[in-house]
Amino acid sequence: MASRLLEQPLRNLGVGVTAIVLGTTAAFGGLEEAQGSAASTDVVVGRTMTADPFDITIRRLLWVSELPGFPTSAEGNRWLAIVADVKNTSDETLLPYYAKEALTVSDVEGLPKPPEMDLTTTIEDDRTDRVGPDQLVHFPDSTQLSPLQPGMTYQAVYLYEQKADAEPAQKVTVQLVAHTLRPNSFDQVEMWLDPVVKAESSLAVLPPEKSADAQDDTNEETEAAAG
């Protein structure tokens, strides 16, 4: 049922629809000033966009009350789910961490996870306004997305937990975050560093009650086809 919910067609959405990491990244040049310009283009649902080292195509956004196998941290909390195709455009296997960092959200009420660290400053616990996903799920088998192989495209679901007492917004600001492959400042090994927002837009999200209605419609269509 959860799988079918996430497979809702685009027409249902309408148009327009890490302190440890800081310590590690700082040692490898993560605190150096990020290179590149700020976001200069819009994120468009259904359009393949580049956020090195990935090509990302956002398919749909929706609020989900329950996902079997992926419980929230507190009863009554919900998930903001962003379904996307993610392709590793580099020539090396990449950890899921990089894919998680490539798609963030902001200005969403009630997210327990803190915003991403601002790696362009040495100020203690200085943060951006971007929040990364709590979970990155491989859509076909509902498992945690494993390392991404070069040239491969993965169907992924980015999950952002929201507290039960927060209002599920009708629109969410989504950012595509690109990285630069360059030698780190510690041992000159090439790494994907300097996260920079390359595209940003406010996208419509299917609300929970409409998600349930669409699920019922999907079940009826499936039964009719089977009959």
The pLDDT value given to residue 178: 96
At 184 the pLDDT is 81
pLDDT at 82 over 50: yes
Highest mean pLDDT among 2-11, 21-30, 33-42, 182-191: 182-191
CA-CA-CA-CA torsion sign (209, 210, 213, 215): negative
- Token pair listed for 84: 């996307």
Amino acid, res. 205: V
Copy the structure tokens of residue 72. 């929230």
Residue 202 maps to a domain: yes
Torsion angle (degrees, nearest 10) of CA 51, 57, 62, 64 = -80
Q: Is the pLDDT of residue 31 over 60?
A: no
Per-residue pLDDT of 168-202, as tens digits, reads: 999 999 999 999 999 988 788 888 989 999 999 99
Quick: pLDDT tens for 114-161. 998 887 767 777 888 999 999 999 999 999 998 999 999 999 999 999
Nearest to 127 by CA among 109, 106, 110, 108: 106
Which domain covers residue 89, as residue numbers?
2-220
Which tops the pLDDT comparison, 202 or 18?
Answer: 202
How many domains is the chain partitioned into structurally? 1
Q: Which residues lie closer than 8 Å to 223 by C-beta, 6 or more apart?
A: none
Contacts of 93 (CB under 8 A, 6+ apart): 147, 148, 149, 150
Question: What is the radius of gyration, based on Cα positions, of the chain?
Answer: 18
Higher pLDDT, 44 or 2: 44
Query: How many other C-beta atoms lie within 10 A of the C-beta of residue 104?
Result: 24
Cα separation of 118 and 188, whole Å?
A: 22
Q: Is residue 201 a contact partner of residue 61, using CB atoms and an 8 Å limit?
A: no
Strands 103-106 and 171-183: antiparallel
**Has residue 188 been placed in a domain?**
yes
The average confidence (pLDDT) of the chain is: 80
Looking at residue 188, its pLDDT comes to 83
On the question of a cis peptide bond just before residue 53, with omega within 30 degrees of 0, the verdict is yes
- Asked if 103 and 175 count as a contact pair (C-beta separation under 8 A), the reply is yes
Top pLDDT among 76 and 38 is at: 76
* Residue with the two structure tokens 């990020």: 34
Q: Which residue has the tokens 């495209």?
A: 153
Give pLDDT tens digits for 200-220.
Answer: 999 999 987 655 555 454 344
| 173 belongs to a structural domain | yes
